[in-house]
Structure 1
Amino acid sequence: MDATPAPRRRVAVLLAGGTGTRTGLDRPKQLVEVAGRTLLEHALRALHDHPDVDEVLVVMAPDHLDAARAVAAGYAKVTAVLAGGETRTASTLAALAHLGDTDCLLLLHDAARPLLPARVVSDCLAALAGHGAVATVIPSTDTVFEVGPDGTISGVPAREGLRRAQTPQGFHADVLRRAYAAAATDPGFVATDDCSVVHRYLPDVPVAVVDGDEALLKVTSRLDLVVVEELLRRRGGG
């Protein structure tokens, strides 16, 4: 009898809960159309069409669930469109709650990063074969200053050791659950991404890194929309 365990299900979570206030638009930035599709659909398509992704969850701002469902309707791997929270953490927790105790590999990706190469998805999943958590990063090409409370430079970290975070971030689902359970006991808990939660609250779990892509930028301004549209145009609309 073959005792080889079944491979873990690979679930991609598309985080689209933000309202895009920094872009100054009248709707969430993930619903802005660029090169014929919304940012949400560009990111969803990249995850959905990857052969190693088994299932996709979309976590959307509560007031725009119908719009997200309309986009997701054409993608068979989407099993649920969930209401997100006011923070990134709340949206991640919504996805974890939906999954319950499911033993799976998770990829969490920002819908505001529409230009997701298949290679990055593959590399994240491959890294999860040997690690409980993985971050997508690119080198920091700019010098970074630490600034003190008095408004002056207090330090200049060595650029060689600095990386800029992108998404997807990947996890064994049980690792992320344990990290958030530990964080819930900390009254001062605050986080802007999920790898930092694992790094802080599960120090025994190393977070691996994989190379991201310069084109995998996060849309936070109207200028970013112009850049993304040009990049999509150059590659034929995505």
Structure 2
Amino acid sequence: MTTLILLAGGIGKRANLGLPKQYYRIEEKMIIEYTLENVSKVGGIDRLILVSNPQFMDTALELAESFPKIETVTIGGKTRNESMYNGFKEVPPGETKVIVHDAVRPFTPRWVFEKIIDLLDEMDVVTTVNPITGNLIELDNGKVKRIHDRSRYAMGEAPTGYRYDALKKTLETALSRGILNEIPHDILLAMEAGFNVHVLHCNCFNLKITFREDVEIARTLIKVLEEQR
């Protein structure tokens, strides 16, 4: 069995839309609705836990009525890791696999989730990466210091998948060391807990809506996809 924790607790400050971007409407739906429609169609995902911005809990509860796979809605924390922890507390103890995903990634191909679920049969932690297509430049006081070999690096994406016990240990270790909100990403917490983090090379379009310009890109793509149906 696999549970997906959908993180929708952010405030969307960088997008400057006047509300958290996951609850911003593009055409007839909120961004989070497009994401929920996508992940709900992944056959290997048995249930969803929605972690919401506290000010939009009523909206999140309404979404739970429209998407049957949402079993629990809970409140987000002050950081991404804390929101993930709040979501994990709602995962049934007998669960096998847990996937963590961002509500502002509505276009992630469903095969990515399916592949991660399969890889978790053999691995404790698997995260999604994409290749870096531009030059990877190291800066020094506003000037170029050196250009690195980009083949040795990758762009971190989502989702990330965990075996249940691995995520449990990751979060317990972070709490015991007081670093849950001090380290910016959960895969670093997993490494702190002693796990190897394996990667799935997505090599695919996996837009994370972050800035206002991303909203317009998403709007255009949604129109194209609707026309193709």
TM-score by length of 1: 0.88
Map residues 13-24 of structure 1 onto 2, 5 A cutoff: 13-24=5-16
Any conservation in 2 of the 1:120–1:211 contact (CA below 8 Å)?
Answer: no
User: Residue in 2 aligned with 1:93?
Assistant: 85
Indicate the residue corresponding to 2:199 in structure 1: 209
- Which residues of 2 match residues 212-223 of structure 1 at below 5 A? 212-223=202-213
- Which 4+ residue blocks in structure 1 deviate beyond 6 angstroms? none
- Output the CA distance in 2 between the equivalents of 1:185 and 1:99: 20
Amino acid across the alignment from 1:166: E
Pairing partner for 1:111 from 103, 125, 136: 103
Q: CA separation in 1, counterparts of 2:45 and 2:200? A: 18
* Aligned-partner residue type, residue 175 of structure 1: A
The aligned counterpart of 1:80 is 72
Tell me by how many angstroms 1:117 deviates.
1.3
Task: Tell me how far apart the structure 2 counterparts of residues 17 and 106 of structure 1 sit (CA, whole Å).
Answer: 18
Tell whether 2:156 aligns with 1:158.
no
Instruction: Calculate the TM-score normalised by the size of structure 2.
Output: 0.91
Which SS does the other structure have where 2:94 is aligned?
coil
In the other structure, the counterpart of 1:228 is: 218
- Give the aligned partner of residue 186 of structure 1: 177
Contact conserved, 1:127 with 1:208, CA < 8 A, in 2?
no
User: Residue 43 of structure 1 corresponds to which residue in structure 2?
Assistant: 35
Could you say what secondary structure the match of 2:11 adopts? coil
Aligned pair 1:130/2:122, yes or no?
A: yes
The 1:153/1:178 distance shift into structure 2, 3 A limit, reads farther
Unaligned runs of 5+ in 1: 1-8
* Structure 1 equivalent of residue 137 of structure 2: 145
The percent of aligned pairs where both chains have the same amino acid is: 25
Give the equivalent residue in structure 2 for 1:63: 55
Q: For residues 188 and 63 of structure 1, what CA distance do their matches in structure 2 show?
A: 26
Structure 1 counterpart of 2:161, which letter?
A: G
Aligned to 1:34: 26
Long gaps (5+) in structure 2: none
Q: Structure 1 pair 136/154, CA: closer, same or farther in 2 (3 Å)?
A: same
Per-residue deviation, residues 124-152 of structure 1 (Å, max 9, x unmatched) = 1111111000011110112222335x454
Q: Deviations over 1:11-40 (max 9, x none)?
A: 011100001111111111001112421111
* Number of positions where the alignment pairs a residue of Structure 1 with one of Structure 2: 227
SS in structure 2 opposite 1:73?
A: helix
Task: Report the counterpart of residue 46 of structure 2 in structure 1.
Answer: 54
- The CA deviation at 1:213 is 5.0
Q: CA deviation at 1:154?
A: 4.7
Displacement, 1:115? 0.9
Cα pair distance change 1:39/1:153, threshold 3 Å:
same
